[in-house]
Amino acid sequence: MSSTPTAHVESVDFVMLYIVGISVVLLLGITATMIYFVFKYNRKKGHQPVDIHGNFWLELIWIAIPTVLVLSMFYFGYTSFREIRDIPANAFKVKVEAMMWKFTFKYENGKQTDTLYVPINTPVHLEMTSMDVNHAFFIPAFRIKEDVIHNKVNNLYFKPEKLGKYDVACAEYCGLKHSMMYTAVKVLPKQEFDNWYAVKTNAVPNVSEVK
Ligand SMILES: [Cu+2]
């Protein structure tokens, strides 16, 4: 079993660390240089400012380095974003309906739940729409979040690789009880999920309570 709930978690966390890492190095480097120059070129030491015009190599370097850094941040951000946009055609499809203040999950065989149940190691495709105002579907542990809008279908994709129960939150302020608009996604072993899915009731799965 994987160490993170989905492979997507690793790529999103890497982008986060990469950008924060570069930012911290730049912040510390620029601040240290600034403080050093304040003392080194202090006017009291008799330094006179001189205008410098044109330095090809310096200008090339300070254009090239930031450009490469910013493009690399974009590259890692974009490739990890593509992971939730390239939805496999064979993914297990679940319709998500948001309304003030709950989510309803509708499965292709007619089952309907207020908690999302999915089998492990299976690509899951959520087709989400809102019955009323704007909501957002957020699974922090999976690092995925998407607006859920009235009269529009938005898609979300994940492939759970670790059994467990993970929080689902509404992440778009949607009225009085927005802060209570929580549910969960439960990742079940394949067999356990299939047993539940095969039974034509909306009863919650009789599962060995997943952690
Ligand atoms: Cu909401």
Taking the centre of ligand 1 as the mean of its atom positions, its distance from the CA of residue 134, in whole angstroms, is 7
Q: What is the pTM of this model?
A: 0.83
Taking the centre of ligand 1 as the mean of its atom positions, its distance from the CA of residue 69, in whole angstroms, is 37
Contacts of residue 47, Cβ cutoff 8 Å, sequence gap at least 6: 41
Taking the centre of ligand 1 as the mean of its atom positions, its distance from the CA of residue 169, in whole angstroms, is 8
Taking the centre of ligand 1 as the mean of its atom positions, its distance from the CA of residue 182, in whole angstroms, is 9
Mean pLDDT, rounded, of the chain: 92
pLDDT score, position 128: 97
Domains and CATH numbers, the chain: 7-83 (1.10.287), 92-198 (2.60.40.420)
Taking the centre of ligand 1 as the mean of its atom positions, its distance from the CA of residue 9, in whole angstroms, is 24
Taking the centre of ligand 1 as the mean of its atom positions, its distance from the CA of residue 26, in whole angstroms, is 38
Minimal CA–CA distance to 105: which of 93, 95, 117?
Answer: 95
Taking the centre of ligand 1 as the mean of its atom positions, its distance from the CA of residue 100, in whole angstroms, is 6
Instruction: Name the band, by pLDDT with cuts 50, 70 and 90, for residue 199.
Output: confident
Taking the centre of ligand 1 as the mean of its atom positions, its distance from the CA of residue 103, in whole angstroms, is 8
The DSSP string of 31-83 is: HHHHHHHHHHT-GGGT---------HHHHHHHHHHHHHHHHHHHHHHHHHHHH
Taking the centre of ligand 1 as the mean of its atom positions, its distance from the CA of residue 129, in whole angstroms, is 11
The 10s digit of each residue's pLDDT in 91-137 is: 999 999 999 999 999 999 999 999 999 999 999 999 999 999 999 99
Taking the centre of ligand 1 as the mean of its atom positions, its distance from the CA of residue 49, in whole angstroms, is 58
135-139/92-99 β-pairing = unpaired
- Of residues 4 and 207, the one with the higher pLDDT is 4
- Of residues 208 and 116, the one with the higher pLDDT is 116
pLDDT score, position 47: 82
Taking the centre of ligand 1 as the mean of its atom positions, its distance from the CA of residue 133, in whole angstroms, is 8
Tokens of 197: 């899915």
The 10s digit of each residue's pLDDT in 165-193 is: 999 999 999 999 999 999 999 999 999 99
- Rounded Cα distance, 153 and 137, in Å: 12
Residue 210 has pLDDT above 60, yes or no: no
Task: Provide the CB-side half-sphere exposure for 184 (13 A, CA).
Answer: 10
Q: Hunting for tokens 């300070």 — which residue is that?
A: 62
- In the DSSP assignment, the letter for residue 179 is G
Residue 205 has pLDDT above 60, yes or no: no
Taking the centre of ligand 1 as the mean of its atom positions, its distance from the CA of residue 88, in whole angstroms, is 27
Residue 16 has pLDDT above 90, yes or no: yes
Taking the centre of ligand 1 as the mean of its atom positions, its distance from the CA of residue 166, in whole angstroms, is 18
Instruction: Name the band, by pLDDT with cuts 50, 70 and 90, for residue 207.
Output: low
Contacts of residue 123, Cβ cutoff 8 Å, sequence gap at least 6: 87, 88, 90, 91, 92, 157, 158, 159
- Rounded Cα distance, 34 and 172, in Å: 41
How many other CB atoms sit within 10 Å of the CB of residue 210? 16
